Structure 1
Amino acid sequence: MDIRHLQYFLEVARSKSFTKAAQALHITQPTISKMIKSIEAELGVVLFDRSGKQVELTDAGQVIFSQAQPIVSAFEHLSAELGDLMNLKRGHLRIGLPPMVGASFFPRVIGSFHEKYPDVTIQLVEDGAKKVEADVENGTLDLGVVVLPTKSEIFHHFSFVNEKLRLLVHPSHPLAGRSQVALPELSGESFILFREDFALHDRILAECIRAGFGPRVVYESSQWDFISEMVAANLGIALLPETICRELDEARVCTLRLVDPEIPWHLAVIWHKDRYLSFAAREWLRFTRDLLSRKRGARAKE
């Protein structure tokens, strides 16, 4: 049995399907079935219960699964480190970005990085910050952008945005002429929020409850521009970051300062403390930190 056998076994265990595992590994199903049977014959145990619609690990399979994961992980780390030495700045990055973050901050970063390192490919995955954080934790993503605070015991991070949420209302709304609004004043309003897999969803709900009321949520969306359009259609109010509010048409949507309390919107790039970072990932972090800090410095002088 070699490392490839263990890699194939782990893929079947995760996908619970020989067919899906074969597709993920770009091999035929008979090949992967034969390899699993050879492991079972070598060890003298049955690794998978094949009687249901999905294959499930047997008790013996569970033991092998728990032991195989660190072995394969160590081998992949070794291969990655050797690849760095041999290929230097070649590589592949998997980066998670919340939708409203990607368009506002990263096109220039990614474009400049690609210009300098054309042999490094970047896979961008758009998801809410909570999903991005979970995928960096489980290794599906190398790096991700999240809303702070994050799990300091698990992740390293660097912060690059420190803003606050602003209130969006329709120009005909009674609050539209105000310069600022206290959060408790919104207790009777209809809220338009991001979906539950976005960190701002939980943050806004928690702050409203702390302010003494449970918000009446009438719509939820994954797109900030759709949320702003619903406010422009007078379907409710919303809370969005300052960066997003700067992009809005003031004739169609009014933005006001939110106080008592202010709700922070702090963004950071995170990566796992206990996982190997490829040369490409380390260089992307250095490059991005430098570029975003210069951008933030330039904005502060405006």
Structure 2
Amino acid sequence: MEIRTLRYFLAVAREENMTRAAEILHVTQPTLSKQLKSLEDELGKKLFTRHSFSIQLTEEGVLLRKRAEDLVKMADKIITEFITLDDVTGGDVYFGLAESYQIRFLAREINTFKKTYPGLRYHITSGDTEQVTEKLDKGVIDFAVLVEEPNAAKYNYLCFPESDVWGVVMPKDCRLAEKEKIEAADLIGLPLFCSDQGWHKDITRWCGGQIDTLHLEGSFRLSYNASLFVKEQLGYLLTFDRLIDTGPESGLVFRPLFPKLETKMYLVWKKYQVFTPIAERLLDNLKEKMK
């Protein structure tokens, strides 16, 4: 299985049309069709359902698209790394980030670092622990930022200087907003929004045996999207402080949980990982600032 063939496959999957994909790839349509047929024969699975004017992925095709995207990204990353091996002033660094106001600390340090190494190019993806560690393990990214303690057997890590404080984001005119702090008993019977990770780890730890009395109305990976549901009076959002705009014009307020619930954040990389020169220098700089 060649990377070039996977690029062809991804182009067809994206365009859902053989003719348009061939034009984009600058190959003839018969050549493209032959490559995709060879790929199907190699895998022993049908990857596309062909219609009169379009092409649709089969279930096997959807699975391959996910794997192919990672493989192509990895191939591109390898090429870029080797191109920049002798360039100590620039290059590409890849991050997978959790949601937290503390990301501004990382952004500030990158800004300072770029004044010395203006050739640095950084690439950011966002996600929960499962999403970003999967990319880290596959080598698609160099660093992950997690909001749970990393597996010390697999990763090296640095701890961010502060902690994120949990609370509830709610409409400012609701009854619960009159309280200064929110206890587990206050949330019983209310429709709650939270990330799956936060609900099953942090919130369960916070409320102990009362978790079964709370109702998870819906789960969200991004707190901003959940806050829009809160504005529409659909529920209450359990999230970190300073992620959501709760200013006077927002119509929302944040109230901290009681007892206080905090979560540490970590910069993580694989053990024995070999970095490009620019990534190594950036890491050395972050170690100095975060120790």
TM-score w.r.t. the length of structure 2 is: 0.66
The change in CA–CA distance for 1:232 and 1:290 in structure 2 (over 3 A counts) is farther
Aligned to 1:52: 45
CA 21–134 in structure 1, closer or farther in 2 if over 3 Å, else same: same
Change (3 A) 1:213 1:51: closer
Report what 2:189 is aligned to: 188
Structure 1 partner of 2:123: 123
Offset, 1:146: 0.7
The aligned counterpart of 2:175 is: 174
Q: Find the counterpart in structure 2 of residue 222 from structure 1.
A: 221
Q: Work out the CA distance in 2 between the residues paired with 1:168 and 1:89.
A: 43
CA distance in 1, matches of 2:3, 2:217: 41
- Listed one character per residue, the Cα deviations across residues 72-113 of structure 1 (whole Å, up to 9, x for unaligned) are x9xx79x968964x3223321111123555864444333333
Kindly tell me: are residues 263 and 279 of structure 1, through their superposed partners in 2, closer, same or farther at Cα, counting changes over 3 Å?
same
Asked whether the equivalents of residues 191 and 218 of structure 1 are also in contact (C-alpha less than 8 Å), the reply is yes
Give, in whole Å, the separation in 1 of the partners of 2:43 and 2:228. Answer: 51
Q: State the Cα distance separating 1:258 from its structure 2 match.
A: 0.9
Task: Confirm whether residue 234 of structure 1 aligns to residue 233 of structure 2.
Answer: yes
Supply the RMSD in Å over aligned alpha carbons.
4.0
Identical pairs, percent: 13
- Deviation of 1:235 (Å): 2.5
Q: In structure 1, which of residues 272, 291, 299 is the aligned counterpart of residue 270 of structure 2?
A: 272
The answer to whether 1:149 aligns with 2:142 is no
Q: 1:82 to 1:227 in 2, by over 3 A?
A: closer
2:136 corresponds in structure 1 to 136
Give structure 2 stretches of 5+ with no counterpart: 13-20, 48-74
Contact 2:158 2:290 in 1 (8 A): no
- Give the whole-Å Cα distance in 1 for the aligned partners of 2:283 and 2:82: 17
CA contact (8 A) 1:96 1:124 kept: yes
Deviations 1:146-191 (A, max 9, x none): 1121211111111113232122232333332222222243121110
Show the counterpart of 1:243.
Answer: 242
Q: Which residue of 1 aligns with 2:65?
A: none
Decide whether the 8 Å contact of 1:157 with 1:269 is kept in 2: yes
Aligned pair count? Answer: 246
Query: In 2, Cα distance between the equivalents of 1:102 and 1:257?
Result: 17
Runs of 4+ in structure 1 deviating by more than 6 angstroms, as ranges, are 26-31
Letter in 2 for 1:138: K
Q: Which amino acid aligns with 1:144?
A: A
Which segment drifts farther, 233-242 or 151-160?
233-242
In structure 1, the gaps of 5 or more residues are 1-8, 38-47, 55-72, 294-302
TM-score (norm 1): 0.64
* Pair 1:113-2:113 in alignment: yes
Structure 1 residues 19, 268: CA separation in 2 closer, same or farther (over 3 Å shift)? Answer: same
User: 1:119 Cα shift?
Assistant: 1.7
Partners in 2 of 1:20 and 1:229 — Cα distance? 33
8 Å contact from structure 1 (residues 95, 141) kept in 2: yes
Query: Judging changes above 3 Å, is the alpha-carbon distance between structure 1 residues 255 and 156 closer, same or farther for their aligned structure 2 residues?
Result: same
